[in-house]
Structure 1
Amino acid sequence: MILYHNPASPFVRKVRMLLAETGQTASVDLKSAVGTPTDSGTLPLAENPLGKIPCLVRNDGPALYDSRVICRYLDTQHTGAPLYPGAPRLWDTLVLEATADGIMDAAVLMIYEGRTRPEDRRHAPWVEAQWAKVTRGLDALEGRWMAHLRGPLDMGQLAVAAALGYLDFRHADRDWRSGRPALAAWEEEFRARPSVQSTIPEG
């Protein structure tokens, strides 16, 4: 299989952490893809008409996208404990993953605003509205999700780790840890996992 990727993408990182946790890293060849909403660059448009990564090209079927679809598929391709558990925990796992994905969406859009718009057309209130989404998501993690985060490994935890790593990577000046001691402590411990260490974003 081929995974179109960029090492800076938190959504790609989610997939790569799952591959590492489930022993599937060697089953996927990484193919670099670079682009933005205003310049498709080398993004896999033929495989994903939306022009986004990650995109997984399978040997026996059409390409898969987005990251949640890819992760669900890859979780069916190994024999270990599933990262998407059975109900009723499944629903919490999916909501936690969706929360992390929303944090990543907003954080990425903040970067695009600075990189793709001319300086005189950037809209600071819009950027701050995106950060407000991030902070609400972080507050929900701190106030609602710590018991789940400390529980058995699942995809929700990997998604949160990817989201927090991206905030450190692109928005370190915003100091997401301030006022969230439980989440900060969890992240510090979880960061030691080999799947997290081997997928640290760059670029």
Structure 2
Amino acid sequence: AVATLKDGVKEKERSEKIMRPVEISDVISRSIGVMVADGTVSKIITRNTKIPITQTKPYTNAGDYADEVIIQVYQGESLYPEDAGFLGEFWIDIEPKPRYESKIDVSFAVGEEFGILHVTAKDHDSGNERTVKMEAAGRLTKRERNKWMRKMLKTQAIEVIVENIDTRDVLDYYLNPSASIGDVRQDLTKKGILSEGMGIFYDDRELDDESLVRDLSIEDGSTLELR
């Protein structure tokens, strides 16, 4: 059985600011949250929050005796996911319990590393915990991020969806046209979405590690499958 999250109404939201000895001036430009059972986005880090920041919010299971839950991450001010920016999703195994009895903490951490969001989900009953890295963590708008990517890469980055077929994890990802597939493999492995021995597929064709992204005719908005 599979469940979505429901807001934990009996616990206060907890946050922990990571302190440093100088004044923090950078902020989150757009709120970041997760989709819950009523189809809305529950914000965990709100717009204009100073970084670095780690913030945790409690949730519970929305269905009876589910053995896994999906964590779907969005950015933006809208309560509705169709009007927000999708960042990625992943699954975590939970202890099967009656509806509303599980305790699942979701933590967001944004540091000084550009555009990286660390998402951690923990089920208190089973002890299971997963952490996934996601890009475009709400510090910049898509237009601002593309401008930065063009400046850094000297070309237009290719935005794709990366999907792990086995785990069903999904990430929004930017490809550097000058990078090799081997470089992409290393980066996706660091982000925790690609496991050893898996291939990277585009249009049902496995990509060779020596190939350059710019030579593969990968279209903006397309999907790379990991299997």
TM-score relative to the length of structure 1:
0.29
- State which structure, 1 or 2, has the greater radius of gyration over its C-alpha atoms: 2
Q: Which has the higher strand share?
A: 2
Query: Higher helix proportion, which one?
Result: 1
More relative contact order, 1 or 2 (CA 8 Å, 6+ apart): 1
